[in-house]
Amino acid sequence: MSSKPIVQKSFEQLKGKITDYILVSVSVFAALSAILGFFRAGSYGNWQLYQWQLTAIAVFFGITFFRKRFSGAAKIYLVVAIIAVIYITGLLGFGFFAAAKLLITGVSLLVAFVLSYRKGLVTLAVFLFLYLLFGFLFSVGLLENSFDAQAYSQDFSAWLNDAVVIFLASFGVMYIGYYFSKALTENFKSLENKHIELADNENKYRTLFDSSNDAIILIRDNRYFDCNEITLTMFKCSRDYIMNREPHEFSPEFQPDGINSAEKAKEIFNLVSNGIPQIFDWQHIKENGELFDVSVSLNVIQLKQTTYVQAVLRDITASKEAARRIEESDERYKKLVESFPDIIMLSNLEGHIVYGNKHLETITGITPADYKVLNRKATVHPDDLPVVRAELVKLLSGSNTHSEMIENRFIDVWGKVHWFSGTISKVYLNGQLHLQTVSRDITERKKIEEELEKYKNSLEELIRERTYELEVTNEELLATNDELFAKNELIRVQNIDLQRTMEKLKKAQVQLIQAEKMASLGVLTAGVAHEINNPLNFIMGGYEGLLAHFTENGLTENSDIQFLLSTIKAGVDRATEIVCGLGRFSRSTENFSENCNIHTVLDDCLLVLNSSLKNRITVEKQYITNSVMVMGNIGKLNQLFINFIINASQAIEKEGIIILKTEVDNDFVTVEITDNGAGISAENLNRITEPFFTTKAPGSGTGIGLYICHSIITEHLGTMHFTSKIDKGTTVTVKLPKKHNA
């Protein structure tokens, strides 16, 4: 920073201050001079000249009073003009004896100090010229003194007036000298402080230069002139190796974009030299030949009247490598998503689609051109919008990362209605919350379900019609029987037999309804198992492909990859186990000679009921070690134990435990199912196997479940027994004949 403007400003302020002080001081002594001049004019009769001097002094007072309104130069010019008037009138009145001639020195010095040295010389020359001119006029007799010189010299007021003039001239010179000396001292101290501040700033900048975490290089004439220690560390070289060489000498022949390094550097330096800062990426070579990437910032700076280019280099090799890996990872993820058989869509909270895989366009007709269109033709069915919106609100307002499974209808761009099943998850991209939707087209499955529902309804309607016909026939027979009862005992016996037949028909009706329901459930279960098998095959194929790919590339030893592969395999195995269990459960046969593993049957039942038991019921298995086999019908045994487990879970109001225990006693296999539910009263315990008897609330049960269980156990030549206590729980004990090896 230059100190010249500060010195000039201080000097100008000093000039203005001295000028104002002189104006005020001279005004005081001018008043005294005016008083003395009044007496001198009375003594020597120079009233006209005194009036001129008095007018000049009055103007001087006005300038002093309004000095703030005048510039420094204007005030000096006016003061010189007023003193010139006083000077001329003094010479006219008193000639050589005029005291005003003593002001020549003070006025000239004031002009030189405030305005300029040259103007001070001009002022001195003018006043000397006037002095000599009046001297010449007096010497040739053109002007004469109008007073007695001897008397004037004996007049004390004349001496007093001259003393005032001498004081004013001397005071002005001393005043200017005093403040000039003071200003020089203050400015010298200011310059000294500025010099110390500049030295301190230079040390600070040098410290910042050397301690920066980035490489800082000063370039002059396109060559390295100076650098900090980080530069040498970055290039792994000595200072002598890097100094006085051009940047492209430490670069490969071509940059990653294919442009020659020397030509590209020349183009960049041309832009910087024209005052255009540059920020770009560059590839350098260390002294050992190692390539590394840097981010470069170039700016023109001035140091001690010399132009440099300041280069700031930051090593971005690691970040470049990380970006490359992220890009490769994104590419792998994109390929995986594109090959996924379901719709995967990513959208922001405004409803704009950010990404969608190929199945989004294939199934719904939504193209990338529609991603930012809010009123798209393809949309959620209006009747299902409240459900979807409710799940969205629940997801966004809660702490869960994904929604429950949502099933809804969707209208594609061609107007076709699809059924979708999927979830919505919260994901963050660049710090912004987005929604990821994974949906599967289940339209075909829904059609199968609708057809099954129609078949079931028609079957129940047919049974109701047949039952009504039987009831009408029964009523007719009862009426006929009443008429003939008194006449023929044989008819009465036939009526009794008919009633028994009706009871059997009712029981057969109950079993028929249940059998048809189980058949429908078996068809549905088989269909679902088949539908699940298809994506399982896709996933297993993908798993085998990934395993082969990683094995070929020697990546199977990677712990992360092993974990991901084992997770996929475990999920496939678990789903396969569920499908197999559903397959066994859906078997429909009247064969009672099947080999039935009791433990497998119980596990299949738990598998089917898992969704209704989890998070509420804890199931404890107390199986014997060896497998237990009985001869019977697997489908009916599944139905038997599902009924018992459902009754046990329904007896538990909130949370509880169900214990499944197996034992082998001589020729029988014993299965105990114990719950800690509400229990059954003693008066109801003996009636629970009666058809249509139930302790549940109206509409909650039909009362035929345990009756059917009793029938199944009877068909298998087994027995069942119930023990129960109110608020303690219930235990059902089933005994079935053990299968003997041939």
Residue 20 C-beta-side C-alpha neighbours within 13 Å? 13
pLDDT surpasses 70 at 396: yes
Give the distance, in angstroms, between the CA of residue 192 and the centroid of all CA atoms in the same chain: 52
- Please state the rounded mean pLDDT for residues 707-715: 85
**311-333 burial by CB neighbour count: b if 16+ within 10 A, else e?**
bbbbbbeeebeeeeeeeeeeeee
Sign of dihedral through CA atoms 107, 109, 110, 116?
positive
* Average model confidence (pLDDT) across the chain: 77
CA distance linking residue 295 with residue 315, whole number of Å = 7
Reply yes or no on domain 589-737 having CATH 3.30.1360.10.
no
Q: Which residue has the higher pLDDT, 165 or 293?
A: 293
- Please state the rounded mean pLDDT for residues 106-134: 78
pLDDT at res. 467? 84
Which value, to the nearest 10 degrees, does the dihedral of the CA atoms of residues 558, 559, 560, 561 take?
Answer: 50
Query: Nearest 5°: phi and psi at 681?
Result: -70, 160
The least confident of 129-133, 524-528, 603-607 is: 524-528
> Which strands, in side-by-side order, build the sheet including 432-441?
353-356, 343-348, 432-441, 417-429, 406-411, 379-380
Q: Using pLDDT thresholds of 50, 70 and 90, give the confidence band for residue 198.
A: low
pLDDT at res. 136? 79
pLDDT at res. 330? 75
Looking up tokens 């990821």, which residue turns up? 436
Report which of 278, 275, 217 is spatially closest to residue 247, judged by C-alpha positions.
217
pLDDT surpasses 50 at 1: no
Q: Which residue has the higher pLDDT, 180 or 424?
A: 424
Q: Which residue has the higher pLDDT, 309 or 30?
A: 309
pLDDT surpasses 90 at 497: no
CATH architecture, domain 340-441: 2-Layer Sandwich (3.30)
Q: Which tokens in the block code for residue 78? A: 């006016």
Q: Using pLDDT thresholds of 50, 70 and 90, give the confidence band for residue 464.
A: confident
Cβ partners under 8 Å of residue 106, min gap 6: 168, 169, 170, 172, 173
pLDDT surpasses 80 at 570: no
Q: Which tokens in the block code for residue 226? A: 């100076």
Q: H helices of 95-155, where?
A: 103-114, 117-139, 149-153
Q: Which tokens in the block code for residue 498? A: 């008919």
pLDDT surpasses 50 at 50: yes
Q: Which tokens in the block code for residue 580? A: 């197999």
- Please state the rounded mean pLDDT for residues 526-540: 60
588, 522 contact by CB (below 8 A) = yes
pLDDT surpasses 90 at 612: no
CA distance linking residue 432 with residue 392, whole number of Å = 17
Q: Using pLDDT thresholds of 50, 70 and 90, give the confidence band for residue 109.
A: confident
Report which of 407, 352, 345 is spatially closest to residue 381, judged by C-alpha positions.
407
Give the long-range contacts of residues 480-487, CB within 8 A, separation 24 or more.
Answer: none
pLDDT at res. 116? 79
pLDDT at res. 424? 92
pLDDT at res. 203? 63
Helices H, strands E: what count in the chain?
Answer: 21, 18
Percent of the chain with pLDDT over 90: 12
Looking up tokens 């039909």, which residue turns up? 702
Q: Which tokens in the block code for residue 652? A: 């538990």
Q: Using pLDDT thresholds of 50, 70 and 90, give the confidence band for residue 508.
A: low
CA distance linking residue 605 with residue 283, whole number of Å = 67
361, 369 contact by CB (below 8 A) = no
**497-534 burial by CB neighbour count: b if 16+ within 10 A, else e?**
ebeeebeebeeebbbebbbbebbbbbbbbbbbbebeee
- Please state the rounded mean pLDDT for residues 2-29: 58
How many other CB atoms are there within 10 angstroms of residue 133's CB atom? 12
Q: Using pLDDT thresholds of 50, 70 and 90, give the confidence band for residue 702.
A: low
Q: Which of 12-21, 192-201, 679-688 has the highest mean pLDDT?
A: 679-688
pLDDT surpasses 80 at 270: yes
Q: Which residue has the higher pLDDT, 395 or 563?
A: 395
3-state DSSP percent of the chain in helix, strand and coil, to 5: 60, 20, 20
Q: Which of 60-69, 482-491, 631-640, 695-704 has the highest mean pLDDT?
A: 631-640
pLDDT surpasses 70 at 161: no
Burial (CB < 10 A; 0-12, 13-18, 19+), residue 140, is exposed
pLDDT at res. 146? 63
pLDDT at res. 3? 41
CA distance linking residue 564 with residue 453, whole number of Å = 40
Q: Which residue has the higher pLDDT, 588 or 685?
A: 685
At position 615, the amino acid (one-letter code) is: N
- Please state the rounded mean pLDDT for residues 687-709: 66
CA distance linking residue 651 with residue 645, whole number of Å = 10
Looking up tokens 């079993």, which residue turns up? 511
CA distance linking residue 313 with residue 295, whole number of Å = 6
Query: Nearest 5°: phi and psi at 286?
Result: -75, 170
Q: Using pLDDT thresholds of 50, 70 and 90, give the confidence band for residue 350.
A: confident
SS3 213: coil
Q: Using pLDDT thresholds of 50, 70 and 90, give the confidence band for residue 516.
A: very low
Burial (CB < 10 A; 0-12, 13-18, 19+), residue 442, is middle
pLDDT at res. 7? 47
CA distance linking residue 686 with residue 706, whole number of Å = 12
Q: How far is CA 559 from CA 44, 562, 565, 724, in A?
A: 125, 5, 10, 53
pLDDT surpasses 70 at 512: no
Fold of 212-322: Beta-Lactamase (3.30.450)
- Please state the rounded mean pLDDT for residues 484-508: 65
Q: Which tokens in the block code for residue 608? A: 């089917």
pLDDT surpasses 70 at 176: no
419, 442 contact by CB (below 8 A) = yes
Q: Using pLDDT thresholds of 50, 70 and 90, give the confidence band for residue 425.
A: very high
Q: Which of 496-505, 551-560, 718-727 has the highest mean pLDDT?
A: 718-727
Name the pTM for this structure: 0.32
pLDDT at res. 555? 72
C-alpha R_g of the chain: 58
How many angstroms separate the first and last alpha carbons of the chain? 112
Q: Using pLDDT thresholds of 50, 70 and 90, give the confidence band for residue 6.
A: very low
